[in-house]
Amino acid sequence: MFLALKEIRKEKLRSSLIVAMIVLIGYLIFILTSLALGLARQNTDAINSWHVNQITLNANANVDMRQSFLSADNVGKLSNQEAVIGQTSVVAKSNQHKQLSAVFIGLKDTQFVYKNIKLESGHNVNGAHEIVVDTAFKTSGYKLGSQLTLNDDKQKYTIVGFTEGAKLNIAPIVYGQLNTWQHLRGMTSGPVASAVVSKNAHYQNNNTGVKTYTKQQVIDKLPGYQAQTATFVLMIGFLMVISLIIIAVFLYILTMQKIPNYAVLRAQGVPSKVLVKATISQSILLVICGLMIATGLTALTAVIMPASVPVAFDIPVLGGVGLGLLLMALIGSLIPVRSVLKIDPVSAIGG
Amino acid sequence: MDSLSVQNVNQIYGNGTAKVHVLHDVNFTAEPGTLNLIMGPSGSGKSTFLTIIGGLLTPTSGTVSVNGTNYTDLSKKERDQVRLESIGFVLQAYHLLPYLTVADQFKLVDKVKPEANLTEDELNNVLEMLDIKELLDKFPGELSGGQQQRVAIARALYPNPSIILADEPTAALDSSRVVVVAKLLKDLAVKHHKSVVVVTHDSRLMAAANHLYEMTDGYLTQKN
């Protein structure tokens, strides 16, 4: 640490350049991670908020709730651990506000999903023409009591409550009664739901024509979800590798310049481990400095980021990413460490 | 007990037609309290001899003993320890760490070998004798070649080694400084009872030597 600190203090420009690189990479990784997380959450917020483990869909729906229709026979008998939901895509229209594409989720008021809706304001749905909507509607100017129509239905629906984090596949959710879902789909008889959701991790619906999936299986099949997630993971992975290469190259160059000095120290009996520790400490100190600045920039960005940007600054996740970068620094320092270990002190003799 | 003893050392590089016999049956003893000067032309094997007696290179045959311990039997790590505790290298290529001030060069020694180094008074004496006491806050880049050489000498002496091996220690010094360094090396040998071995081309050091050796084509002969 002594050598590392002394060198960083003396070689301010070089150290600043390396730190600047790490700041840029760290900042980019933090923002990309937060965006990935934000987008992922907007895909899955609603499903996660229901606290379900198993989801039963029509066996021919390709694990897609939008394509699934269940008859009363399909649904079968439910315990208080299960609930039915009806899902359909809607366009919310109002004369005073812009149109919003949304997902309508029809619920039964006796079941747990309905009861667990966390309201930010207003009250829960009590009638066929009442709806509770995601706060994204509020951002678009809707208020409690605002009326809107859904798709080409002439019926006006009144917003009686707002709920936070109710998004499915990035679209805001409109919660209403299950009967309203049937009405919107034009199916007053026949299908009774899109899905059966269960809190029971071992729930299996063995009725004909249906299949039960885990929550994650359904999430993974959300349109575009895996492509989005994989893209971000790849980008973050590449940035990690780039950070590793930058740290390794800079440290290697710095270390190679010091080889004659180190050879003299080795000749004088200074153990290799002292020089190895100096190299690793230098790498870690530079990365920690870079990460601290990147964290500050990320925090600043979090403050000024518009609410419309799907970004989630999750401290444990970002902490994990920061640790990942530190690990990259450690790995990156192994290449110069190898050079240090190979120093031949004989080279110090004879000028 | 001899501080440094070399017996029947041979050093051969390569094999077959590329075989080079660098040192031939070299015998050498550096007793405490003596300054031993080894002179010879370039390529005569002086540097190879220095690397062997300094424990940096294992000879093809023969033994090297430091304070009674046969160097050739020790592991690399053990040899590092012997060098750190018992041998002070004054090298022609002094290569001071550029980001450490002169004072920090000594602090580094303290970090690696916290005990049995020179006391503050003893270090001050060495610094005064080498006329570098005023340079403690300077970085190597702010020093002349001669000043850096003197700092390197002080750094080698700071761990208080019983054996001092010097490779062209006066290469970057003017005549007046050569006299100072010669006196310092002589004092270390005589007053501080150290074994000093100097490999050099510089005949100006001959007057200070207790024993003079000549290395020619890998053969070491004692001149006095």
The model's pLDDT over A50-85, given as tens digits with 9 standing for 90+, comes to 999 999 999 999 999 989 999 999 999 999 999 999
B67 reaches A (C-beta below 8 A):
no
For residue B224, what pLDDT band results from cuts at 50, 70 and 90?
Answer: confident
The model's pLDDT over A226-277, given as tens digits with 9 standing for 90+, comes to 898 898 889 888 888 888 888 888 888 888 888 888 888 888 888 899 999 9
φ/ψ of B32, rounded to 5, equals: -60, 140
What percentage of chain B carries pLDDT values higher than 70? 99
Task: Quote the pLDDT of residue A146.
Answer: 94
**Which one-letter amino acid corresponds to residue B105?**
Q
**What distances in angstroms separate CA A334 from CA A263, A277, A315, one per listed residue?**
18, 11, 29
Backbone CA torsion sign across B64, B14, B93, A253: negative
Q: Which two tokens stand for residue B72?
A: 């050739």
A346 reaches B (C-beta below 8 A):
yes
Residue B28 has pLDDT above 80, yes or no: yes
Q: Are A247 and A335 in contact (CB under 8 A)?
A: no
φ/ψ of A75, rounded to 5, equals: -70, -45
A77 reaches B (C-beta below 8 A):
no
Backbone CA torsion sign across B111, B114, B116, B120: positive
- Pairwise pLDDT comparison (A47 vs B177), residue with the higher score: A47
Which of A150-159, A201-210, B177-186 comes out lowest in average pLDDT? B177-186
Q: Which residues of B, range 182-201, sit inside 8 Å of A by Cβ? A: none
Write out the H or E segment, with its range, that includes residue B126.
Answer: helix B120-129
Residue A172 has pLDDT above 80, yes or no: yes
**Residues B117, B154: Cα–Cα separation, whole Å:** 12
Residue B103 has pLDDT above 60, yes or no: yes
B84 reaches A (C-beta below 8 A):
yes
Bridge-based pairing of strands B195-200 and B163-167 is parallel
Residue B141 has pLDDT above 90, yes or no: yes
The model's pLDDT over A285-297, given as tens digits with 9 standing for 90+, comes to 999 999 999 999 9
The model's pLDDT over A333-350, given as tens digits with 9 standing for 90+, comes to 888 899 889 888 888 776
Contacts of B91 in chain A (CB under 8 A): 264, 267, 348-349
Q: What is the mean pLDDT of residues B21-40?
A: 93
Contacts of A7 in chain B (CB under 8 A): 99
The model's pLDDT over B125-135, given as tens digits with 9 standing for 90+, comes to 989 988 899 99
The model's pLDDT over A111-127, given as tens digits with 9 standing for 90+, comes to 999 999 999 999 999 99
Give the distance from CA A78 to its chain's centroid. Answer: 33
Task: Quote the pLDDT of residue B1.
Answer: 46
Residue B185 has pLDDT above 80, yes or no: yes
**Residues A95, A75: Cα–Cα separation, whole Å:** 39
**What distances in angstroms separate CA A119 from CA A161, A162, A167, one per listed residue?**
7, 6, 14
Task: Quote the pLDDT of residue B15.
Answer: 85
Which of A7, A270, A345 is facing B56, going by the closest CB pair? A345
**Residues A127, A109: Cα–Cα separation, whole Å:** 10
For residue B49, what pLDDT band results from cuts at 50, 70 and 90?
Answer: very high
Mark yes or no for CB contact B168/A351 under 8 Å: yes
Task: Quote the pLDDT of residue A328.
Answer: 86
Q: What is the mean pLDDT of residues A301-313?
A: 86
Q: Which of B103, B149, B115 is nearest to B130 (CA)?
A: B149
Task: Quote the pLDDT of residue A350.
Answer: 61
Q: Which two tokens stand for residue B69?
A: 């311990």
- Pairwise pLDDT comparison (B68 vs A210), residue with the higher score: A210
Average pLDDT over chain A, rounded to an integer: 90
φ/ψ of B182, rounded to 5, equals: -60, -45
Task: Quote the pLDDT of residue A102.
Answer: 95
Q: From the CA atom positions of chain A, what is the Rg in Å?
A: 29
Residue A329 has pLDDT above 80, yes or no: yes
Q: Print the SS3 string covering B197-224.
A: EEEECCHHHHHHCCEEEEEECCEEEECC
Task: Quote the pLDDT of residue A95.
Answer: 86
Which of A10, A269, A350 is facing B84, going by the closest CB pair? A269
Which of A261, A274, A350 is facing B167, going by the closest CB pair? A350
Task: Quote the pLDDT of residue A264.
Answer: 85
The DSSP code sequence of A151-187 is TT---EEEEEEEETT-EETTEEEEEEEHHHHHHHTT-
Q: Are A312 and A302 in contact (CB under 8 A)?
A: no
Backbone CA torsion sign across B210, B216, B219, B221: negative
For residue A42, what pLDDT band results from cuts at 50, 70 and 90?
Answer: confident
Task: Quote the pLDDT of residue A51.
Answer: 92
